[in-house]
Amino acid sequence: MKETRIVKVNPDSPDIHEIRQAASIIRNGGLVAFPTETVYGLGADGLREDTVNKIFIAKGRPQDNPLILHVSSPDDISQVATCISPVVDKLVEGFWPGPLTLVLPKKPNVPDVVSGGLPTIGVRMPDNLIALTLIAESGTLLAAPSANLSGRPSPTQASHVVDDMWGRIDLVLDGGPTRLGVESTVLDLTQDPPLILRPGSVTREELEDVVGVVNLLAEKKEERPSSGKTLPAAKYPHYILDTPLFLFEGEPQAVIKRIQEEAEKLRERSKKVGIISSLENKEQYLDYADVVEVVGSRYDMTKVAASLYSTLREVEAHKVHVLLAEGFSDRGLGFAVMNRLREAARGRVIHV
């Protein structure tokens, strides 16, 4: 059991002394959780096998699920990846710093443990001053998965990191709630056209505006990736809730009616029911459930994305027996939100 320290840092003007202390922990082979614009990351020196191994152990993460290397400048890409084409340049110019991870052929100096044995490496430059200063001061690149226990919702607040990682890591830099709340989009540039392995905060439409056609792994399920193996982003679900979640998709009025009916039936069987609702529909559920949590307005997907993971953690804390969740439109950012909700539902999706 480690002694985990928590240090509050101002995200707009981080105290350089605090960041330097965090950087010295990284250089000495330790683990530091830090905020990014998407979710909190769990960072270690990404160019050392021993330190990267510690990340897998702390998270309980399967060894073949690769990590993203975080850089503080686009120039750092060439340290760890090859095939930096004009398309890569356009993406970097359009989206970095920001929530886009580029998957490129890996250089041999990156330990295989980082990429889970794959010949490719994911690289991203986060849009958060604490993260960027920490990477630069560490004098290396940071391997950083989301700072949750493997399979749990990603942390969007320092308290989530503490709940999952207390005693397992050295330091948490608390920079307040993260801005976006859904992880980066993972884009494989070793495929032509580029392939979205994980939908995220940068939408397919935004990518296509910059580089033309982009494919989605979800739409290519029947096709096997070139390696002949299942790609890691598709193999490991983002989270498993302790409570079974049923997701209701369809015309909003029909969804409300069906959720009310299902909640009523469950409560007749003495089940404690939680409902995850849009702001607009909350009132419709108050008489039907033990807990109703609002995830945001249907007309503001940015807010829904930002509060999705904290809402899931909050509703779970009520220890209900079953969760019923409203679906959202999967256009734009809604696609990443629905991807996470569908994963949480693990097949329990009801089309009404």
**CB 304, min distance to ligand TXA, A:** 17
What is the C-alpha separation between 247 and 19, in angstroms, rounded? 41
Is residue 138 near ligand TXA by the rule CB under 6 A? no
Is residue 184 near Mg ion by the rule CB under 5 A? no
Is residue 185 near Mg ion by the rule CB under 5 A? no
313 binds, among Mg ion, ligand TXA, none (CB under 5 to 8 A by kind): none
118 binds, among ligand TXA, Mg ion, none (CB under 5 to 8 A by kind): ligand TXA
Q: Which of 47, 187, 231, 276 binds ligand TXA (CB under 6 A)?
A: 231
For residues 38 and 203, which CB has a smaller minimum distance to ligand TXA in the complex?
A: 38
Q: Which of 11, 177, 199, 232 binds ligand TXA (CB under 6 A)?
A: 232
Q: Which of 23, 26, 110, 118 binds ligand TXA (CB under 6 A)?
A: 118
Question: 97: closest CA among 36, 139, 18, 39?
Answer: 36
Q: Which of 31, 47, 71, 233 binds ligand TXA (CB under 6 A)?
A: 233
Quick check: 89 and 67 in contact, CB under 8 A? no
- x-or-dash string of contact with ligand TXA, 13-52, rule CB under 6 A: -----------------------x-xx-x-----------
Is residue 146 near Mg ion by the rule CB under 5 A? yes
310 binds, among Mg ion, ligand TXA, none (CB under 5 to 8 A by kind): none
Residue 45: C-alpha distances to residues 61, 122, 148, 350 (Å): 17, 15, 18, 44
What is the C-alpha separation between 130 and 150, in angstroms, rounded? 24
B/e letters for 121-145, b = 16+ CB within 10 Å, e = fewer, are bbbbbbbbbbbbbbbebbebbbbbb
Three-state secondary-structure class, residue 143: strand
Is residue 58 near ligand TXA by the rule CB under 6 A? no
What is the C-alpha separation between 152 and 154, in angstroms, rounded? 6
∠ CA 57-118-27, nearest 5°, is: 45
Interface with ligand TXA in residues 70-99 (CB under 6 A): 99
Largest CA distance in the chain: 61
Is residue 128 near ligand TXA by the rule CB under 6 A? no
